[in-house]
Structure 1
Amino acid sequence: IAEVCSPALNEGLLTANERLYNHLLYGISVTEFVDGKKASPTVALIDWQNPTNNSFVFTEEFTVTRYGGVESRRPDIVCFVNGIPLVVIEAKRPDGNAKKGPTIDEGISQSLRNQRHDEIPLLFAYSQMLLSINGNEGRYGTCGTPSKFWAAWREEDISDAEMYAIKNKTLKDEQLTNLFNHRPAKDLDWYLSLTAAGELAVTGQDQLLISLLSPVRLLEMTRYFTLFDKKAGKIVARYQQVFGIKRLIERINTRSVTGGREGGVIWHTTGSGKSFTMVFLSKALILHESLKQCRIVVVTDRVDLETQLSKTFASGGELAGKKDKEAAMATSGKRLAQQIGKGTERIIFSLIQKFNTATKMPECVNNSSDIIVLIDEGHRSQGGENHIRMKQALPNAAFVAFTGTPLLKDDKTTNKFGPIVHAYTMQRAVEDQTVTPLLYEERIPDLDVNERAIDSWFERITEGLSEEQKADLKRKFAKKGQV
């Protein structure tokens, strides 16, 4: 309890948040003496396996004393799991004052203000999810997320009908008492007349709350889809990353007739965070019971891509130190062959070209189905021999291709790697304001032929040819296009 109650903020909020996050994930080991013997049990703060075994409580107007100890701040709603405040919600009125801008932004800026070191940073040392809602819509971020990266959510797993049922569920008398007993009587009358008037429609705010705060999903987002990156800070996944990985894990868990794992294509448009999706995936693989023994081979076709990805993995904590990173790099075809055949590294990085040399060596074969090959920019260099060699070396592996390039119907990428497992299209990304729209117009260039120059050039180059030969050449090159 002492460890949980006093996060050290001397190295900054993010470091404190990461420490507590690790405690949440792995528990806190305690040393004590039981019957004169030293014991070091690990006390779990959250039961990840059985979500219902945890306590989920929320409160409103939660008062926290400011850092200086004089005034206090009151975040609108705080949600506690086992007494730890994991979610902080700023709720604004839908209209706002006429002079102020959109109310969602107001909630975000309050959240950012409260995280400052002279405000109430202690509360945010625990937080995993921060929400800003205004009755109609909502956006979410996490500790330290700059305002432009607060994102909307689109649900792909919970149907509209299910959401509708949750929204219109009748509250028990006990729940009504808890919600309205401390308020003026007119608030309860307002609520009763609102619900008596008929079913309520589901708003964007409802979707966000149901999608992110149903107990199972909240624990899932915290455990699998939260990442500390040395450069970008703390990241919580966007919806396309969450559903892309969920579909992918279902797919990898499917076995083909020969006993190998199935793969597929993830088509996420440029700028939607494919490198982070790969890191989230590798984190999810470690934590999934059925997949934690898997090894990952990351294949790219450009050195700068390889560097970028390995840096993302390293700063996301998947490669612990320099040693790990060096061990993961396939520096040559020979090294790659050893890594595939005999190695035990959890993650290997290789350029596709290295398979060419590697697969010629006898040791470069691994029939294990516990290998997952992630191929970046899967549409580009996967043609021909390299691809076939790679498949021969790893006959039962799951091949997953990531691409940001729209795939055509008869495109090779999908046939090679299997079906499209998840798509996040350019249009969707523009609607979500994740990327700016790409506009182009087609123009036909004006062609202008300078006859005199061409004639004199023709005379010069055909010196020494007979008249018939000249005429023949002229006929061949009479068209503008050829000129």
Structure 2
Amino acid sequence: MKFTEAKLEQVFIDLLQEEGFQYISGDQIDRSEEDVLIKEDIRAFLKKQYSKDGITDSEIDGIIRELEKLPASDLYETNKTVMRKVSDGFLLKREDHKLKDLYIRLIDFEGLTKEDAVSQTSELSVAADGKEKYQIHADQNIYKFVNQFEIQGYEKRIPDGILFINGLPFVVFELKSAIRENTNIHDAYIQLTTRYKRDIPELFKYNAFCIISDGVNTKAGSFFAPYDYFYAWRSAPDRQMLNKDGFDGMKSLISGMLNKNDLRNIIRHFIYVPDVSKKEEKILCRYPQYYGALKLFSNIKQHQRPDGDGKGGTYFGATGCGKSYTMLFLTRLLMKSKFFTSPTIVLITDRTDLDDQLSGQFTNAKAFIGDNVVESVESRADLRQKLQGRNSGGVFLTTIHKFTEDTELLTDRNNVICISDEAHRSQTNLDQKVRITENGVSKRYGFAKYLHDSLPNATYVGFTGTPVDATLDVFGEWWMPIP
């Protein structure tokens, strides 16, 4: 099915309304054309969210001013600053200096996990014995999808659609009709990243990601990414149907990526911006990375010792599927989780070049991970020293070969998560090997045996492109992303 741009726009409006987004035309919003924020929504959300803290109107106006004064001239750095404020929150100094600083979130992220009490209602969850289990949290955010939103920048522009949460324009849509000659989805990308970037950069200070579509193909990507890094999205029930396009592709992206829970989760945990970058790097997860990290996170919770068997799961992904980013997203999930309360992560590879690659990526992601201790380990003794006296936190990168036949305990804590890359090779050799030599019988174990003996209560997660039976025996059930 092919659409005119007007019909394509209406399809997106209808599908987003099905997801619970309020549709409103931009000409119905009381604002100056230079404004890209819906300030009344920001004020309404913050006033309600922090009413018990006595937040004042002038304090809210101060938050808005701080956002507006961030320069669009340095768009990448400003977008990085905004995304960190959104995903991690920030402290507000109170007008009344007797009051403690107030921790502000511009999006209500509560209810995304069970420990946050998942629900769209505000009732209590009651167990069969009549006892209250936990307080269910209602989604307090204000969601709007807006078209005809005229923006006066260096030139006047009207994006095809903008998705606002609490008055901030997080997702920008650009649509082109496939029935128009010499027009395709790539033209939508050029419109966003060239013309809009030049004429209305203020809009993209707050952008989480963009959606482009020509009715045949619908893709999502970072505003700073090359066109080749815009991808389709498959919702959880649709992952087996690889060739979906047209209306089905649009519906799959909207139901799988833009439903309120997954959208909030992606904005909070699945958009990575390096601490320092010579290029304008901003990585939006692809759907295999998203579902894979969530699956492993859930599996680790279920299998964590002492109640579980320590087998956190196996991620089976071919070369080029972005395993290192999946590891990074999983690490953030673990570090930010209320359930794990800042675990210690040990990342293990079986080759020095892989260790160097992961070290470079992870040590440049301290803000994203949420821990300033992200370090490469020089030796087993070095790791022991780093773990001594540490009860939580820290990300340590090493190679399996550093676990030689030193069987001394490193730590018996159960809040240690070991994430192994290339888990089909030297990281599964737990069995004893017997060799007959001129000097008699030699008995020794593989590196993995000494690793497990050194961290007996850790939970182990494996990433591999070539799973074997031993991989599943060591790391547990496998999950395969479908590209």
- TM-score norm. by structure 1 comes to 0.71
Q: State the partner residue of 1:250.
A: 298
Q: Is the 8 A contact 1:313 1:319 kept in 2?
A: no
C-alpha separation in 1, matches of 2:177 and 2:396: 51
C-alpha separation in 2, matches of 1:96 and 1:287: 47
Q: Indicate yes or no: 2:458 matched with 1:397.
A: yes
Q: State the partner residue of 2:402.
A: 354
State which of 127, 132, 135 in structure 1 corresponds to 2:212. 132
Q: Indicate yes or no: 2:382 matched with 1:335.
A: yes
The letter of the residue matching 2:80 is E
Map 1:94-105 → 2, pairs under 5 A: 94-97=178-181, 100-101=182-183, 103-105=184-186
Is the alpha carbon distance of 1:247 and 1:236 closer, same or farther for their aligned partners in structure 2, counting shifts above 3 Å?
Answer: same
C-alpha separation in 2, matches of 1:257 and 1:398: 7
Q: Is the 8 A contact 2:366 2:373 kept in 1?
A: no
C-alpha separation in 1, matches of 2:476 and 2:369: 32
Provide Cα deviations, 1:243-271, integer angstroms capped at 9, x if missing partner: 10111011001136852443121011101
State which of 266, 270, 273 in structure 1 corresponds to 2:322. 273
- Equivalent residues, number: 368
What is the Cα deviation at residue 317 of structure 1?
Answer: 3.0
Greater RCO (Cα-Cα under 8 Å, separation 6 or more): 2
Q: State the partner residue of 2:39.
A: none
Map 1:25-104 → 2, pairs under 5 A: 25-34=87-96, 37=98, 39-50=100-111, 52-67=139-154, 71-97=155-181, 100-101=182-183, 103-104=184-185
C-alpha separation in 2, matches of 1:149 and 1:62: 27
Q: Which runs of 5+ in 2 are unaligned?
A: 1-63, 112-137, 241-245, 431-445
Is the alpha carbon distance of 1:279 and 1:33 closer, same or farther for their aligned partners in structure 2, counting shifts above 3 Å?
Answer: same
What is the Cα deviation at residue 216 of structure 1?
Answer: 1.1
Provide Cα deviations, 1:392-421, integer angstroms capped at 9, x if missing partner: 12222111111123x35xx3222221121x
The letter of the residue matching 1:366 is T
Is the alpha carbon distance of 1:158 and 1:225 closer, same or farther for their aligned partners in structure 2, counting shifts above 3 Å?
Answer: same
- TM-score norm. by structure 2 comes to 0.71
Q: Is the 8 A contact 1:282 1:296 kept in 2?
A: yes
Q: Indicate yes or no: 2:284 matched with 1:236.
A: yes
Q: State the partner residue of 1:451.
A: none
Q: How big is the alpha-carbon RMSD for the aligned residues of Structure 1 and Structure 2?
A: 2.6
State which of 447, 457, 473 in structure 2 corresponds to 1:415. 473
Map 1:110-259 → 2, pairs under 5 A: 110-116=191-197, 118-156=198-236, 203-229=248-274, 230-231=276-277, 233-255=281-303, 258-259=306-307
C-alpha separation in 1, matches of 2:237 and 2:109: 20
Provide Cα deviations, 1:33-80, integer angstroms capped at 9, x if missing partner: 33x73542233211111572000011112211233xxx3111100011
Q: State the partner residue of 1:19.
A: 81
Provide Cα deviations, 1:157-203, integer angstroms capped at 9, x if missing partner: 5799xxxxxxxxxxxxxxxxxxxxxxxxxxxxxxxxxxxxxxxx952
Q: Indicate yes or no: 2:65 matched with 1:2.
A: yes
Map 1:282-431 → 2, pairs under 5 A: 282-317=331-366, 324-325=373-374, 328-343=375-390, 346-357=394-405, 359-361=406-408, 364-382=409-427, 383-384=429-430, 385-405=446-466, 407-408=467-468, 411-420=469-478, 422-424=479-481, 428-429=482-483
What is the Cα deviation at residue 349 of structure 1?
Answer: 1.2
Q: Which runs of 5+ in 1 are unaligned?
A: 161-200, 430-483
Is the alpha carbon distance of 1:155 and 1:323 closer, same or farther for their aligned partners in structure 2, counting shifts above 3 Å?
Answer: closer
Is the alpha carbon distance of 1:318 and 1:355 closer, same or farther for their aligned partners in structure 2, counting shifts above 3 Å?
Answer: farther
Is the alpha carbon distance of 1:159 and 1:151 closer, same or farther for their aligned partners in structure 2, counting shifts above 3 Å?
Answer: closer
| Secondary structure of residue in 2 paired with 1:211 | helix
The letter of the residue matching 2:425 is R
C-alpha separation in 2, matches of 1:238 and 1:159: 12
What is the Cα deviation at residue 350 of structure 1?
Answer: 1.5
Greater C-alpha radius of gyration: 1
Q: Is the 8 A contact 2:300 2:311 kept in 1?
A: yes
Q: State the partner residue of 1:165.
A: none
